Amino acid sequence: LNGDPSHYKITLCGTVKSPKLNFDPPFLMLMPVPLDVTSETAINIIPQDYLRQSQIQVEIPELELEDGDRIYPFSVQFPKEQDIVVLPDGTNKGLICHISFRSSRPMSFLGNIFFIDGEEN
């Protein structure tokens, strides 16, 4: 530099990536079953661009029946873990989630189950 820093210019470029969750399959359709029988499936949760560990929380919908009763026919379980882990190469480890439905009353439902990370995304 010889005391003259004006001849050197450094330009930095970057991309901001927001962490996100992808799902395989991207939507869920459980098969109709008799009353009081559980319908269940497994989904893969694919975290992307998480820089630090985070834990997934799940908001399960409460459903209102025709007579006004409210029930929670869905359940969500993580058989291994529900932490988003950053691997040494900077990628994120996928998670498996089991979603089940069981009802003693006839019903159908179209809606959302929300998966929320530790930063409420």
* Within a domain: 46: yes
Q: How high is the pLDDT of residue 108?
A: 79
DSSP string, 68-105: S-EE--EEEE-SS--EE-B-TTS-B--EEEEEEE--SS
% of the chain surpassing 70 pLDDT? 93
* Within a domain: 4: no
Question: pTM to 2 decimals?
Answer: 0.77
Per-residue pLDDT of 79-110, as tens digits, reads 988 999 999 998 999 999 999 999 988 887 88
> pLDDT confidence of 22, banded at 50, 70, 90?
very high
* Within a domain: 43: yes
- Tell me the CATH number at 102: 2.60.40
* Within a domain: 15: no
* Within a domain: 121: no
CA distance 98 to 84: 16
Say which residues have a Cβ less than 8 Å from residue 89's Cβ, sequence separation at least 6. Answer: none
Tell me the pLDDT of the chain averaged across its residues: 88
